[in-house]
Amino acid sequence: MLEGKRIVLVEDDEIMGASLVQRLELEGADVQWYRQMLRALPAIRTPRKPVDAVICDIRLPDGTGEELYETLTRTGHPPAFLFITGQGSIDQAVRLIRSGAMDYIAKPFDMAQFLVRLTQVMQPRADQEMPPETGISKAARATDRLVADAARRDSPVLLRGGPGLGKLKLARRIHDHSDRRAAPAIVIDALGGTVDSEALAAATAEVGEGSLIIVGIGRLTPDCQELLLAKLRTADFRLIATAGLRLEEKAPDGFRSDLLSLLTSHEIVIPALSERPDDAVWLAGRLFPALNARRAKPLTGIAASAEEAIRAHDWPGNGRELRARLLRAVEAAAGDLVLTSDLFPERAGDAGLRSLAEVRDAAERSQIAAALERTGGQVGEAAKLLRVSRTTLWEKMQKLGL
């Protein structure tokens, strides 16, 4: 049943642990047994060979199974977890399942039932086949499942959401995991407003049987929209498009209703980071190692208080703002950890009486974020709403981490 499977067991009870190891090895599994959370952590996070499943007791001598799982999710996607729990910890186990863990089994349990549950958690599911790109929350995992499903289909797909949510990365991911991955993926960026019919025709010819990715499809001119529809009827490429949340407002004057109907029949809406506070912490943990590697003296991590501040912030600029703030924080940190003051220096001093510069920056950040949300991330249109040049707006966005 478990022939060749690599399993990590985290259990401090000698009798329970020995019994499980014996039975798992009889089933053909390769088992690594750890009695403490801190010893199991590196074996799961950086294993010599991929781990197929983790069997973990909720209560451990140096922590909890929940702490172990949450620590792993900050820097990556853990293997399938099957938690062992007593009756008093079932609520905790259920909370873990909602956070992405696979299953739990309550003591005492029948060994045959245990093996069935273990086999089930190792069966691939849509959200396991591809590592997380959007986050670890329920909403993010649902988005990643939709992306995985879209990779298996061949119909046009529309990725919608505010700025800074990684829509282009998800579009590339759909192509890279599709049957068209051997063919090219051609990216057309319409956000700059420079795409004309000639450039679009050249791209549709070059892409062949690959994927044509159009960033900001709502910015296509009427001529380009008509050409795209004609090419979709005759050519063999797949269309993957990205847009803001207000694409319908451009129809019928600004965007063709027939093209809109084609796209919205297969759309994936990416929720804002403000709706997924746990994903903000997860994303910070994912970005931190690469940013930290640039320092001459690397930091040891992000302080727990800073993680709470990340969780509480509304992130109007989504992941783009988070990365900008974290980059600045890692560069500015004077101690061993990234602190709240490193991430949000504007909060330093008397919170009740901020400087005029801080007030102005906060107001500008709010207005720019609102304009970008209203225009679906289209910088040129946002600049018109704010009555500034595109260059000025871009410079302010860079300064404010948007």
The predicted-structure confidence for 29-48, as pLDDT tens digits, reads as follows 999 999 999 899 988 988 87
Domains 6-123 and 138-269 share a fold: yes
Specify the pLDDT at position 128: 47
Superfamily of domain 6-123 in CATH is: Response regulator (3.40.50.2300)
Average pLDDT, stretch 176-184? 88
> Are 383 and 390 in contact, with CB atoms under 8 Å apart?
yes
Side-chain half-sphere CA neighbours of 115 within 13 A: 17
Higher pLDDT, 363 or 27: 27
Phi, psi of 59 (to 5 degrees): -100, 125
**How many angstroms from the chain centroid is the CA of residue 59?**
29
pLDDT band of 117, cuts 50, 70, 90: confident
Percent of the chain with pLDDT over 70: 88
Specify the pLDDT at position 152: 85
CA of 157: how far to CAs of 85, 164, 171, 220, in Å? 42, 19, 9, 16
Lowest mean pLDDT among 123-137, 171-185, 201-215, 249-263: 123-137
3 state SS for the chain: CCCCCEEEEECCCHHHHHHHHHHHHHCCCEEEEECCHHHHHHHHHCCCCCCCEEEEECEECCEEHHHHHHHHHCCCCCCEEEEEECHHHHHHHHHHHHCCCCEEEECCCCHHHHHHHHHHHCCCCHHHHCCCCCCCCHHHHHHHHHHHHHHHCCCCEEEECCCCCCHHHHHHHHHHCCCCCCCCEEEEECCCCCCCHHHHHHHHHHHCCCEEEEECHHHCCHHHHHHHHHHHHHCCCEEEEEECCCHHHHCCCCCCHHHHHHHHCCEEECCCHHHCHHHHHHHHHHHHHHHHCCCCCCCCEECHHHHHHHHHCCCCCHHHHHHHHHHHHHHHCCCCEECHHHHCHHHCCCCCCCCHHHHHHHHHHHHHHHHHHHCCCCHHHHHHHHCCCHHHHHHHHHHHCC
pLDDT band of 126, cuts 50, 70, 90: very low
Specify the pLDDT at position 330: 94
Average pLDDT, stretch 123-137? 66
Specify the pLDDT at position 360: 74
Higher pLDDT, 279 or 120: 279
Question: What kind of fold does domain 138-269 have according to CATH?
Answer: Rossmann fold (3.40.50)
Segments making up each domain of the chain, as ranges: 6-123, 138-269, 273-400
Lowest mean pLDDT among 14-28, 59-73, 80-94, 310-324: 80-94
> Are 203 and 188 in contact, with CB atoms under 8 Å apart?
yes
CA distance 402 to 398: 6
CATH class of 273-400: mainly alpha
Neighbours of 124 (CB within 10 A): 8
Phi/psi region, residue 348 (left: phi>0; alpha: psi -120 to 50; beta: rest), is beta
